[in-house]
Structure 1
């Protein structure tokens, strides 16, 4: 039977020979001694074991307050947090796993898919099983140091990225008062691992021509080849091109629009469809697939690993100093700058937002100037292609 204030008042402080426990609802019950001492308790299971947690004593705690407390505990339980933390200081029993779950559910799920994949592959998957049973605020800095020492031995660059992302998670949890503090915040990013190398490779027109010829002569007849030919001429990011669909290409106005959902910075990017790439785009559209560069399945784009593997094999066939696909972007900007193309145009070609006041007020995209720059760049590369062929 459910509890009531009338029932509890009739029992409290008086000799009692009835049931030792009276249940209410939602796991709340009242334990009663023969002398009439009443204790509210919350019953639940944790890690496969039955737990009986004392909530308070009647009449110091009213029945109404006991029900409110149990409702709060059930909410914690639903989040995977042990209800006993209700009586602790904020965050006292919250583990790193709890922090990661809260951060993921309430913050990361609202980010772009590419960013979610990055966070999951680095910080979420790596840290989820670490310090599993320890309240995150009580992990001493010495343990964090030992952990990152081990990470450094495996991969110095990843160790630094991992710390940067973990600090971001912890800072989010602290700002929302899930935990009071965490000793990992005492670790300086500069003292852990090393930062990723800043690329410096710029391919000359003749080197770009050699890559173009290698692509042209590739025996692998897949959309991977056209994908990388277009990357070389357009200088876009791999994901912007790889995930492109037919609907992104306006063949009336000759504009390729990359939606914010797949651009790295979350901005809409508009680039001209210039004469050198037009026949390739028309051919891809005429294939009738919504996905422009399908992989093994026609309705799904080439995955990143397949794309990287394709170019790794291609690099081995070309006698050039080490280079990467991402170097196409740097090569485009550097070579066009030497041709006198102004920075605001090359920044738009890369898909970057302009800085300062211009980012707020100037929404012009210099489409004509972009088109002229792309035409110039492609002409230079293809002229070198013919030179090598006739050479």
Structure 2
């Protein structure tokens, strides 16, 4: 007789005098124990001997699934493989999916996130520019000319990201080859310079007066979240790094003495100097800090936490903000601003500071390490000098964006 779902439900848990075996078809059957436990099994002949293989218990394995496994096992037998060994390999774990998106995700989780500082930012760029186009395709099926077309299109608008993603995809394939997930690297011979015609530019740029005014308007008037509006204003006022604000705790802001203390572990030069950074808080900054404090739940430690969790906001949270701002400027103000990054706000501030303070004061305010001799002997915090610089910068900034 053929086994049915109704029969399985009726006999599951039904006690009987002893073990009984009921056949379905082509060697597939069900063994019923005296206590009513049902197990799918496959009877077959291999190497001249009669064998029995347990596929799995019902209802953990449905009748439909048991028949699918049975069909695979019969195919293995027809090709001269012992179904028992084939099932053991299957239970070790199915081979991982080899789409571009899955391969890169595995590469990111198992390798890049442990060895690459900018791994999360690259993953965000992959999610934005690559996965929507080829993410669902087999990594082996996306050939060199497919990748060239994708990167060429990207290089027309964001050449630096195109070059960055070319490197990331190449590293993904190299890892995939080591893991025996793929056999070839189709992008290994693609040249960003010659094939994609990407010309290297300076890593950062300074927004000119027109661009700065437009970006400032967009920061205040576009649909940015209140948190991002506060963060971007503070970054431009202080010339700070995103990570410094992202990791900032409420206790780091002393609104009584008007000083923001950045511990060594939260700023780039801290590992080298072992010293905290101290930045003065001007009235304009204090108002924004108060807004930030109001947006963070009272019992939270961090100024800019993740939503619903007292942890620093993700280091990817700012990615894409610049693109949204540029789109808003184009749509609402009918003007164009060349591609820029959040880090360029730091360069924008620093380029103006050269007119407002001596170079070493501007570098201290920026958080750059002083020359080795100064680090050894100079423990002065230059807070008064920084305060003068920032006061002059606030006046200049108001003139530029008014």
Instruction: Please tell me the TM-score bracket, short chain as reference.
Output: 0.5 to 0.7
Count, aligned residues: 335
Show the 5 A alignment for 1:359-378. 368-369=380-381, 371=383, 374-378=386-390
Report what 2:239 is aligned to: 235
| Contact preservation (8 Å) 2:28, 2:41 | no
Task: Find the aligned partners of 1:370 and 1:228 in 2 and give their Cα distance.
Answer: 25
| Contact preservation (8 Å) 1:212, 1:229 | no
Task: Find the aligned partners of 1:101 and 1:216 in 2 and give their Cα distance.
Answer: 33
Task: Find the aligned partners of 1:381 and 1:200 in 2 and give their Cα distance.
Answer: 19
**Cα–Cα, structure 1 residues 248 and 372, in superposed 2: closer, same or farther, change >3 Å?**
same
Show the 5 A alignment for 1:80-99. 80=96, 96=100, 99=103
Report what 1:152 is aligned to: 152
Query: Which residue, 323, 326, 341 being the options, matches 2:359?
Result: 341
| Contact preservation (8 Å) 2:248, 2:303 | yes
Show the 5 A alignment for 1:140-289. 143-153=143-153, 155-156=155-156, 157=159, 158-190=161-193, 191-192=195-196, 194=198, 198=202, 199-201=204-206, 203=208, 226-238=230-242, 240-241=244-245, 244=248, 246-249=250-253, 254-257=259-262, 270-276=276-282, 279-280=286-287, 283-284=290-291, 287=294, 289=296
Task: Find the aligned partners of 2:386 and 2:211 in 1 and give their Cα distance.
Answer: 17
Query: Which residue, 20, 42, 45 being the options, matches 1:32?
Result: 45
Deviation per residue, 1:262-315 (Å, 9 max, x gap): x89998995423042663365336637346469999999896467765687679
SS in 2 for 1:189: coil
TM, length-normalised to structure 2: 0.55
Task: Find the aligned partners of 1:119 and 1:266 in 2 and give their Cα distance.
Answer: 31
Following superposition, the deviation at residue 167 of structure 1 comes to 0.5
Report what 2:3 is aligned to: none
| Contact preservation (8 Å) 1:224, 1:307 | no
Following superposition, the deviation at residue 234 of structure 1 comes to 1.0
Task: Find the aligned partners of 1:20 and 1:212 in 2 and give their Cα distance.
Answer: 72
Task: Find the aligned partners of 1:352 and 1:148 in 2 and give their Cα distance.
Answer: 39
Task: Find the aligned partners of 1:363 and 1:56 in 2 and give their Cα distance.
Answer: 76
5+ long unaligned stretches in structure 1? 1-18, 82-93
SS in 2 for 1:149: helix
Following superposition, the deviation at residue 178 of structure 1 comes to 3.9
Superposition CA RMSD, Å: 6.1
Report what 1:106 is aligned to: 110
**Cα–Cα, structure 1 residues 292 and 192, in superposed 2: closer, same or farther, change >3 Å?**
same
Task: Find the aligned partners of 2:221 and 2:99 in 1 and give their Cα distance.
Answer: 52
Task: Find the aligned partners of 1:364 and 1:380 in 2 and give their Cα distance.
Answer: 30
Deviation per residue, 1:315-343 (Å, 9 max, x gap): 98799997956443113333445644249
TM, length-normalised to structure 1: 0.56
SS in 2 for 1:31: strand
Following superposition, the deviation at residue 200 of structure 1 comes to 3.6
Report what 1:13 is aligned to: none
Following superposition, the deviation at residue 195 of structure 1 comes to 5.4
Following superposition, the deviation at residue 188 of structure 1 comes to 2.7
Task: Find the aligned partners of 2:155 and 2:132 in 1 and give their Cα distance.
Answer: 16
Show the 5 A alignment for 1:71-86. 71-77=88-94, 79-80=95-96
Report what 2:346 is aligned to: 329
SS in 2 for 1:273: strand
